[in-house]
Structure 1
Amino acid sequence: MTIEEKYEELDLTPSYLKKEIMILACGNILFADDGFSVHVIEKLNEILTEQEKENIALVDAGAGAPQQVLTLIDENSKTKKIILVDVIDWGLKPGEIKIIEKEELPNVKYCKFDIHNLPLSPLLKEVAEKYNIEVKVIGCQAKYVSEPDVHIGLSEEVEKAVDKAVNIILRELRGD
């Protein structure tokens, strides 16, 4: 067997691309409300059954890796639905949840090539359209994002929104 044949036998596909549903958390717990999605993923990890987790990937991509996760999706990925969780700034009341459909994602232009400022919506739309993936964003209006200063902990309003977001996601996953 050649090296090429051995390499082809290896399954190098990330485990999260082998599941039909991906919950993708974007955020950083070091910057106050920016850690919202991390808390949502942790709570989902506690609530979801092992059977549900067989088909649902819980991905904490942090602040800089969502782009990398999305660029790994290809025609061989099993992903059919992505639920992205993040804080937003849509001028809502702090802690207010907004469900954003793919068509509502802003058409943000790439203004500078810096992974921390690279807009996610164009890539999310592109992946959804190219691979026929359903996309929803569960956005929570932030009250305070401390970046670049470190501040661990959510504002009271955003902390209360964690359970709301989890319930929305559970209804979406379970079809309630």
Structure 2
Amino acid sequence: MADRVLIMGIGNVLWADEGFGVRCVEYLSEHWHLPASVTLLDGGTQGLYLLPFLEEADTLIVFDAVDYGLEPGTLKVVEDDEVPRFMGAKKMSLHQTGFQDVIATAQLMGYCPTRLLLIGCQPEELEDYGGGLRDVVAAKIAPAVRVALSYLAQMGHVAKPGRTESDLLADPSIMQGAYEAGRPSEDEACRVGDARFFPAAD
């Protein structure tokens, strides 16, 4: 049986740079035709619901926003046994700790993928609800994808320019293009509450 590869993006697109991993798998889907042995998945914040997908994979490639304590936009790649340690480097959000638990559970049950690759990007902003990726992080989507493509090629899974259709990605309404284009202006979107209930200024 051919080696089965799962490429997963995790994170929450509603919290600025938290969406980095999800946007990476979207980019892959839109720009590259992957062989049938490779599955693309928007893992979002699904936690333990992701276990069945890991059970079916021999190799797992994960894109995520990871706090490495580096300059915003810095890419860092870790492999195999190092991956769980970095996934829990700092509790930035619920999804990170949750995915560390997913890996630990898969290992305990004996069906964790043999090879693990984490392609992480240092976030700039995580506390902007409804915000998009900051420019320095968005600029690292294509380089991060190139890392994954190179890793795949070394394993014999060669991608070609084109598209990969997957029903495991997000609804089109929250894909990056639609999400960014639909955002109201700063004047129209109050990020701190409803102006009708603010106390009147003296």
Q: Deviation per CA, 1:108-145: give whole Å up to 9, x if none.
A: 5xx9xxx6574422431553582352111111111111
Give the aligned partner of residue 7 of structure 2. 23
Change (3 A) 1:128 1:95: farther
> What SS is found at the alignment partner of 1:61?
strand
Distance (Å, rounded) in 2 between the aligned partners of 1:94 and 1:42: 21
1:160 and 2:139 correspond: yes
* Corresponding residue number in structure 2 for 1:67: 48
1:121 paired to 2:103: no
CA-CA distance at 1:28 after TM superposition? 1.4
> Structure 1 regions of 5+ residues with no counterpart?
1-17
**Cα distance in structure 2, aligned partners of 1:59 and 1:48:** 14
List alignment gaps of at least 5 residues for structure 2: 159-202
Contact 1:19/1:57 (8 A) holds in 2? no
**Is 36-45 or 129-138 further displaced after alignment?**
129-138
* 48 and 117 in structure 1: CA distance in 2 versus 1, 3 angstrom threshold: closer
* Segment drifting more, 118-127 vs 25-34: 118-127
Query: Where do residues 23-62 of structure 1 align in structure 2 (5 Å cutoff)?
Result: 23-49=7-33, 52-62=34-44
Q: CA deviation at 1:160?
A: 0.9
- Residue from 67, 72, 84 that aligns with 1:94: 72
Whole-angstrom distance in 2 between the partners of 1:34 and 1:127: 24
TM-aligned CA deviation for residue 31 of structure 1? 0.5
Q: What TM-score does the superposition give when structure 1 sets the normalisation length?
A: 0.71
3-state DSSP of counterpart to 1:136: strand
**Using a 3 Å threshold, how does the CA distance of structure 1 residues 117 and 59 change in structure 2: closer, same or farther?**
closer
1:53-99 deviation digits (Å, cap 9, x = unpaired): 41111100112x1431125544xx3x110001110011011111111
CA distance in 1, matches of 2:19, 2:96: 17
SS at match of 2:27: helix
Q: Check 1:134–1:84 CA distance in 2 against 1; reply closer, same or farther (3 A cut).
A: same
Provide the aligned length of Structure 1 versus Structure 2.
146
